Each structure stands twice: as C-alpha cells, then as structure tokens.
Structure 1
C-alpha cells in the first residue's frame, strides 16, 4: 500500500483571507497610499515591511479558523458535542412532525401509540345526531385479540384498550374537538368457500395460506408498517417523512388506511382471489356469515352490520380439508393444515410487524460532532519577529542599553493595538457559540475581548492597572447590545419561518420573566425559541383534560399567545417540570412530598368557605403602582419534594388562601393545585408571616404579585351543560373564550385590548370563533373557582358533577360576554381531509 505524498495545491485559494500573498500585496498598496512620499526606502529588510508581513500571516490564521465548519464553531470546546436546544436548533424528528390535522393523521397516531389494536376508524358525528354539536368523533377500533381462541377474560381487557385509545386521542385532539364514543368492533365469523385452479409448480399449502391471508386482510384490514430506511431509500425528503404526527413504531402509508367497510361485494373477493400469485381461476365462490342463514354468491353484496367487522374463519374442516378447494386440472390438491397454519401465522406476523424508529432517528438525524479546540487561543504576533527586534519571548540580552530597551518597548507599544484587535477577533470567534444561542451571549455584551497580560511577552510594564476595565468600557461603548441580540434572535427564528413583534404594552407593567433587564421583545423571542417545538407542532391542539393541568398541558395556541402578550413566567417560557430554578423536586406520589399536604372532605370545605384569599391583603390598592416587594426567602423550595399538581400553582398568588383551621391557633397557608384540590403548605404565628411566606413562594417560582393571566375555554367541552341549560348545540360548536386578567388601567385601555384580541384571533384556527373576556381581579377569582372545578370534573368527575360544573362556567362566561351573538363559525367543518 503506497501512501500519497503530501502536496501543496497550486490552485487559487477559495477565500482571499487565506491567501498570504494577496493580503500582503493589498497591505503594501494601502501602506504606500497612506504614506505618500514619506516611505521611500521600500525593501524586504525594512521594519515596516516585516511588520506588515507578520500581521498578514496572523490574519491567515484568523481566516482559517473562521472557515471551520458550523459544527466546530458551535460544539462544546471540551466534548465536541453540540447542544442543539442551547443553540435554538432542533433535529428533524423534533421540529418537523405536527399534531394530527387530518383523520388519516389521527388514525396513524392511535395505531402507533396503542399496540393492542390493529386498526382504528374516526367518523365525524353528524350534528343532528349529537344534539347539534359539531366537532365530535365516533371511534371504532379493531382488536383481533378477541377472536383468539387462546384469549381468556383475564388477558383480554377491552376497558383498558378503550381507555388507552381515549387517553391517546385526548392528548392530541384538535382544538374545540372531542370524542363522542369509542367502540370495539365486534367480529362476525365468516366462511369463504371456492374452487380454485392453481398453476403448475405451486405449493398448495403456501397458496392456501396466501388466499386465507389476502381474504382476511381485505375483510378486517390491518395496515403494514415500514422503516425509516425504507422511506429514505424511496427518495422521500425529510419534510415528506415527517408529514404528520411523529411515528414511533413504523411508518404507515396512505394506501394502508382503508375505510371501514359497510358493504362488501362478493365480486371484490372473487377479483382479489384471482389476483393472488399462483391462482389460475376461481369458481363457485360463496360466503356465509355466523348468525346469517343466507349464503352470498357472486353478484351479491354482503351487508356489514354497524359496529362490526367480518372475521375470516381460517380453520380447516374436521377432515383436514379447507372450504377453499385447490385443484391442478381435475386433481384435488390437499394442503397440510399444520403447515398452512404456520405459513398463515408468518404472513400475519410480517403484516403486523412494528419497527423501533427512535434508534433510526437518532442515527439518521444525529447532530454533527465538532472538533474540540480553543478557538480563542492567540499567539502574539510579536513572538514571530526576529530576535534582533527584542520584542519576542526571548527579549533583549542583559547587556542591552537602556536606550535599546526603550526602543523595544516603543515598538511593542506600537504593535499592541494590532495584538489587541487580533486577540479580540479570536475571542469573538470562540464567543460565537454563546452569541448564536437562545441566550445570545447572556445579555450584557455581544462583543468578546481578552486581556493581553498573558499573551504578549513582557507586556506588564506597558499596561495600566485599569487596563481590563478600560478595555471593557471601550468595547461596551460601541456595542449596541439590544439591537444585535434582536438581530441574532431574528436570524434564529427565521430558520423556522417565524418572527415576532413587540408585545403590546399597557399602562400596567404586568410582564413576567426572570431577566427583568432584558427588553420585552428579546424575552419574547427567547421564549419562542425555547418552546419552538410545541409552539409550532401543537398550534391547533387542545389541552388534555384527562391529565393534570401542569404547565406543559395547555392548548397549543396558548403558548404563542402568552409569548406574544409578554406573559413570560417560567412555565410559559418553558422552564420545565423539574422545578426550574426554584430547586424543587417534582414527585407524582403525594406521600413522597416534603411540602404540601392534600386536603379532602371537611377540611377542604373549610378552606374553600372560610379562608381569605391572600391576594386581597397582599397588596395595597390594585397594584398598579408597580411597587416591588422584598423577597424575604431566597429559595424556599430548594431541595423540597413538591407534588406535581402543586408546583405549577405556586407561582400564582390568586391560588393562595390563609386562615385558621378548627381547633388550631396558627395561621395556615393553603394553595389550590392545578388538580383543583387544596394543599396545606405550612403554619405561621402571625398573618404577616403567612403573607410573607406566600410572597416568597410566588417569587421563587417565577411569579409576581401582579400577574397577567390568560386562559382558554373550549366550548365543546362545556356541552355536558346542555341538558341543564337548554343551550342549542351550535353554541358549543367551534367556539372558544379567551379569559385575560386585567388591571384597572388595562380595563380602560381599549387599544391594548384590541391588540390582545388580535393576537388571540391570529393564533386561533380559522374555523373557530374566539371571544375575549377581560376580567378584573374579583371576576378573575370567581372565574378561577369555576374553572378549576370544571377542570377537575372533566378529569375525574361523574357526569352529574361535570354537567353542574360546566353549567356554572357557561353561565359565568355568558354573564361576562360583551355580545352573545350567533356563532359565525358553527356551520363550518374542521379542516380534516
């Protein structure tokens, strides 16, 4: 094996910054132009020429590093890994898929997430059949397990399957849509008999298995899945591969999602059998159904009862023969029943095979790995000068005269501006990783510098004590931080086709956020980058009312609405369920909690009836003066285990109440969790101490004393109140109410309210009619009481409690609605294909 010899290319360099000769020529021309007649002794030994040559040489290194791959520039300098989300970047499997939009999307999703079913069909309910309500679905599911003779009552649990399907749908349902019913299709035993002529050299057992499989798949279809490798081999683009919801168990093509058959022509079975490989002709086809005395023949149509599927009986007769008889000429061919069963099982196994796609995604869409290196490292240009100059690391000899030392220092001082610029350039290159990220450099600067104290040899005598401070001051004076950060965030947002205008400003500073020094628009853009995936993927998704109302469980439109309105508390900005910077540890089992005692029964009723809302006494007036309260508790939840329903509620001051329980003297603090229940947080000797503890909890969890809030109520979920209220079904169809908490100044600010209304409408799907309700503190408190009770009833309440809670909330919304006009969108259909 011969090794290729190392050569230097003679072709022109791609970038002029890498071409030392071009840089030197341009520098010489500029120097001659600027010096005019002063520089007359131009030769290669001239110190000016030497200085120019060394600077040009250093510039080639800067150009070389600047040409590194994006992976090299953005990777961690130690590990070489790129933290995509830190940079505001997302891999294809995260950013490309969307919440189900079409019925085909819904079918794919449920099939992918519920392993126990083999097929599913969504049928939009006609409004006249469901009380005039639009946007409801009947879901029919196919569970082959019920036909398995080995299946027992202990292993086949239809109620669990139905619950899994319901949970999957509600977790991904479209805004203002819901499920009406979920039914497992009953299987009707079907026998198909025929006389089949088979070709020469055809295996009778294999043909019998193929015929049984083909007919069975046609009567009770089950989609076939493919791998990511198959999709890529077919030439599909990333956008085409991730068109729809994210698949985890295999891709399902459109032609696999066949409709639910309500009638089957016998001729269709005849044609299907005739097209099977190895079949020459088919005759004498008959079909019989269990419980139906009629025998269907060619030319007839088999009606499929509602809520049923035809299930092919593949068992052999008692004598080992099959209803489908195989012939080669006049000679009957008898398949081996055992072999047929094995081959048929193999065909069904191949049809039902699933594929773990996550490993394929991780391999095909893994972020690139960069080469770890210190991009800011700079070797002073003074080290490149010949020793005779006395300015490199060797310095001057000991016997050099003071005058010679002075000359060397003079030249070093002359070169230091060049050194500083070059050092800063390299530092800026290393800073790109922080600058082009969600944090955009951290907010204090967008230009990076580095000190020359450890870079330039023997430089200490030339630097003043406040050199670093002066360098930072000079840099800051020419650094338009806000404008540059906004431009960088605009660039990152443009990668996803997104942009943001400044949040509407009212007379009340009710914005939230950890970075109070950042402009509202910068905070909004950062929040959108952090939550780009759910903000784009779930724009048309409703909230999952079967799960606790945690920060991540909300209607998709609320994410962008809250960002555009500047409601940037930790949860809205995507802080995370781990407790964020509060230091809390989230636990799902209340018994493991170290703070928060759940109240039920009489004690919960005492809190509800007699405890005083904290926000009434927490502030003077309406809080519009913007007075800041002192945070007396730095981290009250650090290391504490907090129940999952309690943590997201701790940032909201309107959820707290204080009072004294029967038989006690201390003041108790209670908080209404996201599950609608009351939680005791602690006891205090004085009311002032209880209020102070609430203030500390609110601030530690990213809330503020005066907090703008936004909620969405989907009217289709209020339909349980219809029998009590007599409201026509059309009033529940494709309508929603957006409830916004307002201060006194905001209540009088019509321009601000119009801006908020425009933002809500912009983020609402076009077929849904929204209304905005602006509520003061008292009305908001009454709304929250009804809203929390309704949410809890949706999750776990019996129908009677849900109807009552829905009625109370519906009447509240009607009482505060500006104009109960007819719904302009009620006659429209959802955008399902």
Structure 2
C-alpha cells in the first residue's frame, strides 16, 4: 500500500484546484481588489502573502484529494462501498423476458434436465401461450413441467398467460447406412459419439457462451446483457432453432460426417417409408426426432466397417458409457461457463482504498519558525529587544517583548482559525460526500463539519493552544451550567396541561418559553401517539420537528387526546393575549438537582458548530435534489411540483419533502426490479401474506411515482397488501347532486357525509375548516329543511350538508371541525385508503370450458381501480395526473381503463377480488381443484368491471 501512489492517474494538466501558482495569483487579485489602497507590498517576506501561500497550499491538498479515484472516495474504513444505487451491469442492463426467445433462454438457463423449450401463441386468443419441452432421454416429466410452469408464471408479461406446458413425445427415427471408420478409430467410441451428436445436434440445444469471450471479441456490454439475466453466460438468438416439422437425410448426413473417426457415410436412408417424401420425413404432431440406443444384440442404425472394409459390431454397454460421458462433458462445459460468469468483476461492486480523506493537517505546520506557530513555539532569540536586554538574557521568555510576542502569536492563531475551520469543513464534506448519494444516510444533514478541538482528524502543532482560544466559550458554558435546570408547567384551572424541562442560561429561558407559547398556540405543532402501555400521549414540536414540551394527560383513547390538544391550544392562545392568564397558568420552577456534567470545550464547540451548519442546511430540499440526480442516471423522474401541489398540507411543511424523499429512495432501492419488471404481471401461484395481490410491475411503479400511502420504507416491493377499505376514512364525500351510493343509515351515523360542487373544496376544508366563522347554518328555500355551508377563501359559500334538524347540523359541524384539527384524525390518516389495483382481464377468462375466441373483453386489456375518497384522490387534477401516469407506464399495446370507486364500491370489489385470488391460487396448487368455482368468481369480477364501464360511459 505504501508504494501505491495516491493518484493512480495523475492529470496531464493540473486542474485549477491543484495549481498552486494559479490559486495564489487569484488570491492576490482578490486582495488587491479589496485592499489595494492599503496593502501594496506583495514581496515574499510579507506576512500577508505568507498566509495566502499557506492557504493556497492547503487548497491544493484538498484539490488533490478531490482527484482520488471514485472508489476511494466512496469506500468506508473497511474499503467497502455501499450498494445503494450502484447496481452491477448484469442487474441494471437486463430485463424481464418479453419475447419468445427471452422465455426460451430463461427456461433453459433455469431448469436442469431440459434440452429445449418452445413457447407458441394460442390461435384466436392473443396473450395466451403454450409451452413445449424437449427433454433428454431420462428425467422426471412431471417435475420438468412443474418447474417450467412455475418460471413462466413468475415471469408473466402483463396481459399474457400460459395455458399449458407439455413434454413433446419422442418420434424414433429408423435409419440405415454404412459408416467407414478412419484407421485406428475405436468403433464403440465412434458409435457412442455419433449417437450423442445426433441427439444433441440434429435438433440443437441452446449453447451458452462465456461472456469474457464476447467482450474480447469487441461486443458491447449493453448488447451482451440484452434480455433476461442468465446464470450461464449468454445465449445467442441464432442458436435458438425453431421446433421442426420435418427431418431430411441431408441434416443427418452433416451431423454424422462431423463425428471424429468417421471417414465415409454411404447408403443413408429411412427404413420405414411412412410419412417420408423422398429424403424428407414429416414428423407427427407434437413430436421431436429421436434415435434409440439399441440394447445388446439389437439392430444398430448404422453398419460400421473398419478401414479394410470388414464389418464391426459395437458393444452396447461401452457405447452407452461413451454416450453418457459425452453428456457429462457437455454439462461440464456449461458449468465452466457458469463459473466464469460468477467470477466476472462486472457482476461485483468494486472495493476501494480507505485514504482518510477527512484528516486535516493544519497550515500552522508550514509557517516559518519565526511566526511561533509551529510545535517549537516562539524562538528565544526573537524575544530579545535592546531596551530589555538584561531581562531577556537573565530570564529568556519572561520580559515585555516575550509577552508581546506571545500575544501576537495568539492573535495570529485566532485569526487563522476562521480559515482553518472552513478548510477542515471542506475536507469533512469531501469525506462524507458518499452519504449525499446514500439512500439511507445516517444523519439528516447535507453539510458536514469537524471540530478543530480534541479531534484526532485535525492535526495541529499545538492542540492545547487551540483549546485555549476557546476560553470564552467555556465561560459561557459554565454560566449556563451554573443555573439549575428549570421546569415549565402550564396548567388548566384545576390540572396540569403542558410540561418542559430546560437546562440553559437565564437569558435563554425566556426565549424558550416564548417558543413554547408560539408553537403551542397552533394545533399543527402537536403530535400524539400511543405509548407502550396503551395510553395516548401528545408532545409539542417546533418547526424542525424537535420535541420542546410534552402533555401531562395520559388518555385512554385517541379522541380524548385530540380534545385535550384543542383545550391546550385555546389555553395557550389566552396566555399569549392576556397577561393575567399568563400569571395564573405559567410556572417556572427549579427542577431538582442538575446532575449533568459540565460540557468540555470540545463538546461545546462542536455543538455550536453543528447548530450553525444546520441553520444554512435546507436538508429536505438538498436531499431530494441528490435523489433527483440519482434518478436521472436511469432516465427517471418524479413530478415534485405536481405532487406538492396535491398535498393539502402547508407548502412550508417539510413533512412533504421528507415523504417525497422516501418515495424516491424506495423506488431507487428496488430499481432493478422496478425497471426490469415494469411490464410484468403478478405471480398468481405465489402465496401472499396479506389479503390482496399486489405484484405487478405497473402497480409497483405507480405506487412510488404517485407517492401512495405516505412514507415508504422498503427495500423490495411487497407482493400483497391489506384491503384499502380495512380502515373507514371517517367521512364520506360525494359530488353535489349525486347520491352517496352505498351509504346506509348506520354508515351515515359513523361517517362525516358532505357534498360539494368542485374538487378544491376538500383541500380548503383541511386548511381552513377549523375556523367556525366560515360555517353557517340557515334554512333552505321553503323553510322545510336546513343547510350547512362553508365559506371558501374565494368568498363562495359551498353547501356541505342539509337536514330537517338544525341541531343535527350543528353537531355535524362540530364533529367536522374536530376531525379537521391539524394533527387530528384528518391529518393523522392523511394517506389512509390510498392505493390501486391493476386487474388483468386475461386472467378472468373461463377455464372449465376455455373460449375458442376472444369477445373483446380479455385480450390486451387491464382495469386500474382507484379509490375516490382519500384526500388527494378527490382532486380532479390528481385524477388526471394518475391516469396520465397509467398511460405512460403501461405497455403501448395494452388498453388501460381507469375507474374511481367509492368506499362502498371498493368494499364490494375487494370482497370479490380476494375470493378470486384465493380460488386462483388453489387452482394452481390443488390437483383436484375444479375450475367451476374459479370461473364463477372470474365471472363476478367481469360483471363488476362491465358495470363500471357502463357507469363511466353514461356519466
């Protein structure tokens, strides 16, 4: 390692960051522009120029480290590079099988004991296919069929399905001919090899080839890895022959003449003339040509003659042994290809040297000794002055000159600390750059810093002198620590409400109290959750999401804690307005003994440094920008502006940006699958963990691109999900003039039912619906009933509900206001009910009595079903956006129909879909399963979809 240069490829022309002369010239230019009237001496002995030289030299060190190999900048202390979005070529360039040849390659690569495979379309039913297997002379047919079928189902393309997989029958070819052997040839070896050649090459099996050979031949990697990911090298399309319908003697002759030891072939013909036309034999349906190895004493397909013309009779046992050895050698060659594939460096992430990029070597080491900054301190001979000669010689370092000199050194060291801190931070930023591209960064910040005090990564000639400069900081910390922690209590008239405990200086406590009162008077800054003991608690957070106070009440239910939050909000509003209320309800008291240790200078300095960096670090925005860069590498993007516009929360709320980053991170983490399987259907033979199937590539992509369900934290897409209707939304919304379909009296009692005339109303309710002044209850025309209306920001009144009982409307309004409270039920479950289902019509076809022809419902069609009750999904613009994403991500030949279902409709659909998925799974795994029950459930889903289509056409 010591002999390895830091830069493996030194740049021919120095980049600006490594060019000392250019940096110094630029620095002098800035100095002349800023202080040319005062600083005119730029000779080498000038201290200002010396400082500039040292700073420029440090910048060249930073520039040098920036030129390190990317593997070295990304490597951790162990030399390991995090995977994240660094996918290997075989992962990111390959795709799920799409063409017939893709499926043939995948099946041959995955199933042992299979010689060949063909997949053919079913006439009259686009999207349906039959699979045909050619097996070797031995093997378990049922096992082969099961393995191939499982692979095909797991890799289905959207709107396609496999009808059947069968093993082709072997049609024995009765041949006769005379072979003259070369001198010295072993008859048994020649016959065994000949039979193997006929078995292997008359109908050639796919031949995997090593990837290194193709790279050496100059083939581009993107061409090599086109198609499905294979374990055994690659398979060329040219080596995939079609299933033959005939066999001619010329083919057989070419194979025989290629066998080592065969000198001459003569008299070749078919023994039987059935289905033979001249030299061509027509194979029977669903068969492949096959030549038997005759038992001992049986007739051989060829008569062997030695070089003298004498007949030679092969030994059947030895012939079989040679045949088997040829088969073993062929498999060994394939295994060698697999081993070479596994060992490819292209399939592994690189490792890198750890070069300790963060380590900062102080510029004070390079200053001339006369400056007194080095580890030698102030030289004694420079402390002498003529006016103080006697003191200087009698007690070196103790006279006025020495004191002055020490003070000057201290001043210079303090002056340099600003530059050194910036430099040290730059080295820390470069060392931590790998976290900027991480999908799981350990800390939520994008600017990095390191302390100059008590930091092993910061190398100073006199570390104690640096700490001494921070004496004032230590004094401030002592003042802070000298006051005991204070306990803030805010109480209702008869019980405690809110509590916080702070250490800190007296001056800070008033600002902390102001912070609690400011944030506490706004309900959106409260969070409530369930404690491990089952009780509900709430806390108050600031704009950064940090907890600054906690509630005193421990409630038995979520509703009780929500009411408590509202009462605390009203109380703090009064306290802010009324000095008398402040005096009655707010108490600042000493909080017992302060057992915390006094922080060290290094701890205080680092804490202040990190707080300062955080003030200028818009992490959510920057984190999303880095994720956008990673997405752009794969030509992917999220429509951030649109997604934020659909989010009903205030634009300044960072929660949306945090959730947006989680959508992007999850999408990138699972990107090889999200990309390669974007057109894949779900595997209905896979046992799902939850009620509803959720396995198609289209569902997975839409799930991320639409940000469905709020924060997403997964490395793989789930294959199943719970029902969307598992949790009632707590409200029911429908358009004005339309009936609330499916809402019976019982449901209406437990749900907030309201109507509106435009899609923006719900967002207005979320934002302004807690203001009672925006509601009015008044008689409708005729005076027989009452209506509840809401005033939108545009000044328009919108009717929400009507009833013949005004008190009932008041109760409904109060429930609505409580439900809309920030961080109340509406906001806690903002993403509840979000989701979608992609239903492939081809899977609903009848199986008990298969259709002979499609009637237009099944082929190349999907239905995408989405709920219409979640907050974002009620926005018409969001609906158009979602439908556009469906069209953009759906294969071009597939017709996609989108339907927006009410809660009641979705309940009916999910009940049918769950029953169908269960029956579909059983039809695959239960050998005695009757298709009648599955067809009934498929028919029920078809009727449901057709009813939706009719409703859509009529609306």
Alpha-carbon separation, structure 2, partners of 1:37 and 1:510 = 55
Structure 2 counterpart SS, 1:82: coil
Alpha-carbon separation, structure 2, partners of 1:452 and 1:93 = 45
1:222 aligns with 2:222: no
1:811 aligns with 2:949: no
The 1:727–1:785 alpha-carbon spacing in structure 2 relative to 1, beyond 3 Å, is farther
Q: How is 1:69-468 mapped onto 2 (pairs within 5 angstroms)?
A: 69-76=69-76, 78-85=77-84, 88-127=85-124, 133-144=125-136, 147-148=137-138, 157-200=140-183, 202-276=185-259, 278-288=261-271, 294=273, 299-315=278-294, 318=297, 323-326=302-305, 328=307, 330-353=309-332, 354-355=334-335, 357=338, 360-365=341-346, 366-393=348-375, 395=377, 399=398, 401=400, 402-439=403-440, 442=443, 444-454=444-454, 455=458, 457=463, 458-463=465-470, 464=473, 468=606
Q: How is 1:311-710 mapped onto 2 (pairs within 5 angstroms)?
A: 311-315=290-294, 318=297, 323-326=302-305, 328=307, 330-353=309-332, 354-355=334-335, 357=338, 360-365=341-346, 366-393=348-375, 395=377, 399=398, 401=400, 402-439=403-440, 442=443, 444-454=444-454, 455=458, 457=463, 458-463=465-470, 464=473, 468=606, 471-472=609-610, 474-502=612-640, 504=643, 516=655, 518=657, 521-549=660-688, 554-567=695-708, 573-574=714-715, 706-710=832-836
Structure 2 counterpart SS, 1:812: helix
Aligned to 1:656: none
Q: How many residues align?
A: 689
Larger radius of gyration: 2
Deviates more, 1:453-462 or 1:413-422: 453-462
Alpha-carbon separation, structure 2, partners of 1:715 and 1:801 = 17
Deviation string, structure 1 residues 331-368 (Cα, Å, up to 9, x no partner): 44555544433332222223344327377335422222
C-alpha contact 2:627 2:664 (8 A) present in aligned 1: yes
Deviation string, structure 1 residues 297-333 (Cα, Å, up to 9, x no partner): 7824222222222221122661786534345364445
C-alpha contact 2:679 2:890 (8 A) present in aligned 1: yes
C-alpha contact 2:75 2:351 (8 A) present in aligned 1: yes
Alpha-carbon separation, structure 2, partners of 1:60 and 1:450 = 19
Alpha-carbon separation, structure 2, partners of 1:419 and 1:505 = 41
Deviates more, 1:618-627 or 1:349-358: 618-627
How far off is 1:245 after superposition?
1.2
How far off is 1:730 after superposition?
2.7
Q: How is 1:658-807 mapped onto 2 (pairs within 5 angstroms)?
A: 706-720=832-846, 728-743=854-869, 749-797=875-923, 798=929, 799-807=931-939
C-alpha contact 2:194 2:259 (8 A) present in aligned 1: yes
C-alpha contact 1:320 1:337 (8 A) present in aligned 2: no
Deviation string, structure 1 residues 413-461 (Cα, Å, up to 9, x no partner): 221221121011101111201012224685x432212223335632345
How far off is 1:141 after superposition?
1.0
Alpha-carbon separation, structure 1, partners of 2:303 and 2:654 = 75
Aligned to 2:804: none
Alpha-carbon separation, structure 2, partners of 1:80 and 1:617 = 63
C-alpha contact 1:194 1:283 (8 A) present in aligned 2: yes
Deviation string, structure 1 residues 487-515 (Cα, Å, up to 9, x no partner): 3223222222323323546767599xx99
C-alpha contact 2:708 2:831 (8 A) present in aligned 1: no
Deviation string, structure 1 residues 131-166 (Cα, Å, up to 9, x no partner): xx321111111222xx44xxxxxxx64333222211
C-alpha contact 2:210 2:340 (8 A) present in aligned 1: no
C-alpha contact 2:276 2:282 (8 A) present in aligned 1: no
C-alpha contact 1:712 1:738 (8 A) present in aligned 2: yes
How far off is 1:801 after superposition?
1.9
The 1:409–1:140 alpha-carbon spacing in structure 2 relative to 1, beyond 3 Å, is same
C-alpha contact 2:145 2:165 (8 A) present in aligned 1: yes
Alpha-carbon separation, structure 2, partners of 1:423 and 1:729 = 72
Which has the higher relative contact order, 1 or 2, with Cα contacts under 8 A spaced 6 or more apart?
Answer: 1
Alpha-carbon separation, structure 2, partners of 1:50 and 1:138 = 82
Aligned to 1:661: none
C-alpha contact 1:722 1:729 (8 A) present in aligned 2: no
Alpha-carbon separation, structure 1, partners of 2:232 and 2:748 = 53
Alpha-carbon separation, structure 1, partners of 2:281 and 2:174 = 12
C-alpha contact 2:179 2:302 (8 A) present in aligned 1: no
How far off is 1:773 after superposition?
1.1
How far off is 1:230 after superposition?
3.7
C-alpha contact 2:17 2:63 (8 A) present in aligned 1: yes
How far off is 1:524 after superposition?
3.3
Alpha-carbon separation, structure 2, partners of 1:240 and 1:417 = 54
Structure 2 counterpart SS, 1:709: coil
Alpha-carbon separation, structure 1, partners of 2:747 and 2:176 = 77
C-alpha contact 1:266 1:297 (8 A) present in aligned 2: no
Alpha-carbon separation, structure 2, partners of 1:746 and 1:32 = 58
Aligned-CA RMSD value:
4.1
TM-score by length of 1: 0.74
Alpha-carbon separation, structure 2, partners of 1:281 and 1:578 = 61
The 1:538–1:10 alpha-carbon spacing in structure 2 relative to 1, beyond 3 Å, is closer
C-alpha contact 2:696 2:838 (8 A) present in aligned 1: yes
Alpha-carbon separation, structure 1, partners of 2:620 and 2:872 = 27
The 1:37–1:814 alpha-carbon spacing in structure 2 relative to 1, beyond 3 Å, is same
The 1:570–1:37 alpha-carbon spacing in structure 2 relative to 1, beyond 3 Å, is closer
Alpha-carbon separation, structure 1, partners of 2:180 and 2:649 = 81
Structure 1 counterpart SS, 2:361: coil
C-alpha contact 1:735 1:769 (8 A) present in aligned 2: yes
C-alpha contact 2:128 2:161 (8 A) present in aligned 1: yes
Aligned to 1:18: 18
Aligned to 1:666: none
Alpha-carbon separation, structure 1, partners of 2:673 and 2:404 = 70
How far off is 1:170 after superposition?
0.4
Deviation string, structure 1 residues 85-104 (Cα, Å, up to 9, x no partner): 2xx21111222221001111
How far off is 1:566 after superposition?
1.0
Deviation string, structure 1 residues 73-94 (Cα, Å, up to 9, x no partner): 1111x21111122xx2111122
The 1:747–1:241 alpha-carbon spacing in structure 2 relative to 1, beyond 3 Å, is closer
C-alpha contact 1:569 1:703 (8 A) present in aligned 2: no
TM-score by length of 2: 0.65
Structure 2 counterpart SS, 1:761: helix
Alpha-carbon separation, structure 1, partners of 2:283 and 2:447 = 72
Deviation string, structure 1 residues 18-64 (Cα, Å, up to 9, x no partner): 34344344434543454425334443332223212221221221112
Deviation string, structure 1 residues 164-200 (Cα, Å, up to 9, x no partner): 2111110001111111111111223333211234455
C-alpha contact 1:508 1:743 (8 A) present in aligned 2: no
C-alpha contact 2:867 2:873 (8 A) present in aligned 1: no
Structure 1 regions of 5+ residues with no counterpart?
128-132, 149-155, 581-611, 628-697, 822-833
